[in-house]
Amino acid sequence: MPATSAGIMLYRRRSDGLFLLLVHPGGPFWRNKDAGAWSIPKGECGAGEAPEAAARREFAEEVGQVPAGRLTPLGGVVQSGGKRVVAFALEGDLDVSAVRSNTFTLEWPPGSGRMCAFPEIDRAAWFPLAEAREKIIVAQRPLIDRLETLSRG
């Protein structure tokens, strides 16, 4: 059975529209990838863990800050590898220069026997909706459409 991840789509309103906080995955595989590589802060739900709790925990692990406020369900999407992502919208703001991610360990280069630590995310940025649609993983694009519809209501 494919894993389920949960995440938060943090957004802010400006006079020139909505902006989304997206994060870029860390590590050597993603280093030179940009369009279609960014994501909402998200991660795998633990056994028996409610998606809302997992979304807040993962946001804190990846961004280094705990988001406050009421989460609004955006539903789920299925990514190309079969992973289901359940997302929640949250209006808020944060300083991307203060983002601090947890790390993971990977043998790098492959076959070298040398273990290296990499940040789970190497950067975060605010994007207007049109640019966010280009940056985000293709399977997560419907979440932007849902947020846009929600923000009008």
Q: Which DSSP string do the residues of 83-142 spell out, in sequence order?
A: -EEEEEEEE----GGG----EEEEESSTTS--EEEEESEEEEEEEEHHHHHHHB-GGGHH
Q: Which domains are assigned to the chain?
A: 4-152 (3.90.79.10)
Instruction: Report the distance separating Cα 54 and Cα 45, nearest Å.
Output: 5
Structure confidence at residue 2 (pLDDT):
73
Structure confidence at residue 152 (pLDDT):
85
Is this structure's pTM higher than 0.85? yes
End-to-end CA separation in angstroms for the chain: 35
CA distances for 76 relative to 7, 64, 146, angstroms: 10, 24, 10
User: Phi, psi at residue 8, to the nearest 5°?
Assistant: -115, 130
Structure confidence at residue 1 (pLDDT):
61
Mean pLDDT per segment of 10 residues, for the chain of length 153 residues? 90 96 95 95 95 96 90 95 95 93 93 95 96 97 96 81
Question: Which one, of 106, 123, 124, 102, lies nearest residue 115 by Cα?
Answer: 106
